[in-house]
Amino acid sequence: MFKQIKSQENKLYNKILFLSRNKSFYTKLGLIDTFQNRINLIFLHISFLFIKLKQKDKSQFYKEFFQKMFDFIFNKIELNMREIGYGDMAINKNMKFLVKIFYNILLNCENYKKKNLKNKNLFLLKYLTRNVDKKSTNNIGLVEYFDKYQAFCFDLRSDSVLKGDLNFNYE
């Protein structure tokens, strides 16, 4: 059972990673390809899934799944930081910072659907850095992407999320 859960977490994480590394973010939507942007994109993608599952089912199984997925994501981030060359002190400092950012994103995503276009735009610009030449206050492409992604997540069945069956295509 543990191995099956681990593989589900890995499959879901890989799908989230795939979505977060979509070239459109860096070409069409004007994001800078940085470590922090990639992490924040992961946080945004997983937050909508967590919120969807939380609204549908509050059982102990899902609470455990949230915690295991959270731990899995942060372990992967820590490993990536070590590969880049961060030392133990820097990793500890950055991990505290990243946990705080994750929870801020998660809280903002809970109310995302209720936000107007301007507030969605401000929220995304707070966590995602754009290219200087495309730095405008109009972030309509990113807002449209996350509007569609959020709607996609809320249409998913809970078991699809758990299995990592995320086939979101944004054109």
pLDDT of 171 reads 65
| Cβ contact 69:46 at 8 Å | yes
Q: Are 44 and 146 in contact (CB under 8 A)?
A: yes
The pair of structure tokens assigned to 143 is 């807002």
Evaluate if residue 2 carries a pLDDT over 50.
Answer: no
* pLDDT at residue 130, as a whole number: 86
The strand pairing partners of 31, in sequence order, are 130
Model confidence at 137, pLDDT cuts 50, 70, 90, reads low
